[in-house]
Amino acid sequence: MSASKGVALVTGAGRGIGRAIALRLARDGYSLALNDTSPNRAAVAAVQSEIAQITYSGRPAKAVGVPADVTDEGQVQEMVRRTVEELGAVDVMVANAGILKARPSLVETSLADFDATFAVNVRGVFLCYKYAAQQMIAQHRQRGGAPASTGCSIIGAASVTSKQAWAGLSAYSASKWAVRGLTQASALELAPYGIRVNAYAPGLVDTKMVERIAVESNREHSRYIAEESRNIPLKRLGTPDDVANLVAFLVSDKASYITGAFDTSRGTYKQPPQN
């Protein structure tokens, strides 16, 4: 068996969903390029140490840190270049990094917050898709051009709010609708190269992002979780591992005929208000 299934680059991998995805893909046999912003180097180093404890096929899993601000084109190009230099390829790109600013109403949302949200959630995802795809197309050509030979996959972070409106999340919601469009159009364009493009679109997942929402809604974290769980069909929030399990499936051979899919975990799909 080969020592590695390929190389996966995960953005926002220092914590939350990105960290869970990175650990899961390392357990599944991928070498990992771990991205987060430079100030989060320590968090990335901690994930790198956790990955160093994982063995696959009798060898320790490999991980390198590739710090970059995904809103910056030059830094994203450099992140992809360094991944290829250190690990040899980019077979999987998980454009996970995203932000949620405070949750004011539309009329209170500042232009600065709107622009910052779009910078990370849309421009960042666009840049990650673009430069990963360029690298994957080059790999496709090097490997002889047969679609089935690439096995490359791009995954974006959308959200349940990219399908279903939530009051107080206009800028965030609009940014995630954009991820949906970017994902589905990219899936059409990249299919001839055997590159599949999908997105995950969970409801509430218990991470720092949700902790902040709880604080902003003046509720204790535990009270927030309990109250929100009542609106969820499976009666609990999602966990980062729930999303990592989906990503592990989407990048695997078992999903080799799935592209342009936009998955909302039904278990965490908040029910619309009941009349």
Cβ proximity to ligand NAD, 16 vs 194, nearer residue:
16
Interface residue with ligand NAD among 92, 133, 152, 210 (CB under 6 A) is: 210
User: CA end-to-end span of the chain, whole Å?
Assistant: 56
Q: Does 96 bind ligand NAD (CB under 6 A)?
A: yes
- Dihedral of alpha carbons 88, 89, 94, 96, sign: positive
Q: Does 6 bind ligand NAD (CB under 6 A)?
A: no
CB 54 within 8 A of CB 23: yes
The footprint of ligand NAD on this chain (CB under 6 A) covers a number of residues equal to 30
**Residue 235 known to be catalytic:** no
Interface residue with ligand NAD among 109, 117, 159, 173 (CB under 6 A) is: 159
Q: Helices marked H in 62-124 — which ranges?
A: 73-87, 111-118
The SS3 assignment for 102 reads: coil
Beta bridge partners of residue 161, listed in sequence order: none
What is the distance between the alpha carbons of residues 262 and 139, in angstroms, rounded to a whole number?
25
Q: Does 42 bind ligand NAD (CB under 6 A)?
A: no
- Please name the residues in contact with 23: beta carbons below 8 A apart, sequence gap of 6 or more: 47, 50, 51, 54, 244
The SS3 assignment for 215 reads: helix
Interface residue with ligand NAD among 40, 183, 259, 264 (CB under 6 A) is: 40
What is the distance between the alpha carbons of residues 272 and 266, in angstroms, rounded to a whole number?
13
Shortest separation between residue 166's beta carbon and ligand NAD, angstroms:
11
User: How many residues are listed for the chain in this entry?
Assistant: 275
Interface residue with ligand NAD among 22, 202, 248, 264 (CB under 6 A) is: 202
Encoded tokens for 61: 């899993």
Q: Which of 30, 56, 131, 172 is catalytic?
A: 172
Cβ proximity to ligand NAD, 71 vs 170, nearer residue:
71
Q: Which of residues 138-157 bind ligand NAD (CB under 6 A)?
A: 157
Q: Does 69 bind ligand NAD (CB under 6 A)?
A: yes
Please choose, out of 1-9, 186-194, 204-212, 247-255, the segment that lies near ligand NAD by the rule CB under 6 A. Answer: 204-212
Q: Does 65 bind ligand NAD (CB under 6 A)?
A: no
Q: Which of 5, 62, 101, 176 is catalytic?
A: 176
**Residue 172 known to be catalytic:** yes
Which residues are known to be catalytic?
172, 176
